[in-house]
């Protein structure tokens, strides 16, 4: 029988622009120590570590974890593209749920170079070959970064199918900056007007510069444990993972050719379905969501894939303000990847930290009132999607 898994400690650092961050192991140390302090336990209590990053050598995980201590525990290095951080969380949860361990560290970090968001897919073209083939078949070649072509192409497809205004995508970026203005961890926390978003440099129609997440350096961490461990350490009323799912590409991701499907729509929809079913709730029960807004187009598509609104209903959802404070569900109160930044290996764990703070009532000026159920969505092309449902109480 699967055991309940609690998140008893989270930590992250304020993300930084490329060239302005410490070394990866220094960032990892800061995030890891913050998570341990938050949990109120020593590093010696941790039995396993799952460490994620996309850029780096094969055992950077050990180099990072050794900053916390030399305890001889298993350290697993992993890379699942942009879903790397939540994949570390997924593996850590499995270790606790199965009874293989009582207390596990999930750690993610990234030290990125300028322009890396645009180039890292093409640097690893082989695993994304089928995705590239779909993109080229549907829209031809372009000099724009591959990621922007893929997610921008999905936006074009949605525009053709539903006839929405291009400004609807821009409204997501405005909302992201408004939320980020309340978040001291966000890299970009100055608000933007819709006019500024739409007038920023064109990247790949309908995307403008302010609708694309920036390359970022940073680290995040989470400490997971069993109920028995929590009781032994006097930890009560912890946030727990009520359900979690990871999906990878389906035949529908590529046939018939669709940019929307190719960037992970069906992965997200199925992972969310599995999570709702396992937790015996529906999307209407969720108060706060951190979802993968690498581009504004993906945030809009994710509203529908996660069941936050009906298919084809995203524009109305956005224009009604249903995606922000005072609306139906607050999406990306942190500012999301668009404003907080997107250090690939750390993103999923930064999402986890935000949602744990929200459910504890520790999110300060960005607190979602009455939040008891939270949803996390982290997507990596190539492809993998992790959806996690958190509860308190």
Catalytic residues: 82
* DSSP output for 154-205: HHHHHHHHH---THHHHHHHHHHHHHHTT-TT-S--S---HHHHHHSPEEET
d(CA 203, CA 210): 9
Q: Using CA of residue 272, residue 273, residue 278, residue 283, what is the dihedral sign? A: positive
Cα first-last separation, the chain:
21
Quick check: bond before 354 cis, omega within 30?
Answer: no
Enumerate long-range contacts of 326-330, CB under 8 Å, 24 or more apart. 329/283, 329/286, 329/287, 329/288, 329/289, 330/287, 330/288, 330/289, 330/368
Q: If we measure between CA atoms, which residue out of 273, 292, 290, 291 comes closest to residue 282?
A: 273
Element (H, E) at 109: strand 103-110
Q: If we measure between CA atoms, which residue out of 38, 32, 26, 30 comes closest to residue 51?
A: 32
Do 242 and 356 touch, CB atoms closer than 8 A? no
Q: Does residue 140 come out as left (phi exceeding 0), alpha (psi in the -120 to 50 range) or beta?
A: left
d(CA 168, CA 230): 45
- Diameter over CA atoms, the chain: 60
Pairing verdict, β 330-331 and 288-290: parallel
Is 205 exposed, middle or buried, given 0-12, 13-18 or 19+ CB atoms closer than 10 A?
middle
Do 159 and 152 touch, CB atoms closer than 8 A? no
């Amino acid at each position: 029988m699967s055991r309940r898994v609690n998140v008893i400690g989270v930590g992250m650092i304020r993300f930084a622009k490329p060239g302005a961050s410490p070394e990866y192991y220094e960032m990892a140390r800061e995030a890891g120590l913050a998570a341990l302090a938050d949990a109120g336990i020593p590093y010696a209590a941790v039995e396993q570590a799952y460490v994620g990053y996309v850029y780096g050598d094969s055992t950077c995980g050990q180099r990072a974890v050794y900053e916390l201590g030399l305890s001889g525990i298993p350290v697993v290095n992993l890379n699942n593209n942009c879903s790397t951080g939540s994949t570390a969380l997924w593996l850590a949860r499995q270790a606790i749920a199965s009874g293989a361990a009582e207390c596990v560290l999930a750690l993610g970090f990234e030290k990125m170079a300028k322009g890396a968001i645009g180039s890292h897919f093409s640097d690893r073209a082989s695993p994304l070959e089928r995705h590239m083939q779909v993109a080229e078949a549907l829209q031809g070649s372009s000099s724009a970064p591959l990621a922007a072509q893929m997610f921008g192409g999905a936006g074009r497809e949605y525009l053709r199918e539903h006839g929405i205004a291009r400004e609807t995508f821009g409204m997501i970026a405005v909302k992201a900056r408004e939320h980020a203005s309340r978040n001291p961890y966000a890299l970009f926390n100055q608000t933007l007007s819709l006019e500024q978003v739409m007038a920023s440099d064109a990247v790949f129609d309908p995307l403008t510069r302010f609708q694309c997440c920036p390359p970022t350096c940073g680290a995040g961490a989470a400490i997971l444990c069993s109920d028995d461990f929590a009781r032994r350490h006097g930890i009560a009323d912890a946030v727990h993972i009520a359900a979690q799912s990871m999906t990878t590409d389906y035949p529908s991701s590529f046939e018939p050719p669709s940019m929307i499907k190719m960037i992970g729509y069906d992965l997200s929809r199925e992972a969310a379905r599995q999570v709702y079913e396992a937790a015996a709730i529906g999307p209407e029960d969720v108060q706060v969501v951190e979802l993968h807004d690498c581009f504004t187009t993906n945030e809009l598509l994710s509203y529908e894939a996660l069941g936050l609104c009906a298919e084809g209903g995203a524009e109305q959802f956005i224009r009604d303000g249903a995606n922000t404070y005072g609306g139906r569900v607050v999406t990306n109160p942190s500012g999301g990847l668009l404003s907080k930044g997107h250090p690939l290996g750390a993103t999923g764990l930064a999402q986890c930290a935000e949602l744990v703070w929200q459910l504890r009532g520790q999110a300060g000026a960005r607190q979602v009132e009455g939040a008891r159920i939270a949803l996390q969505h982290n997507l990596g092309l190539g492809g993998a999607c992790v959806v996690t449902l958190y509860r308190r109480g």
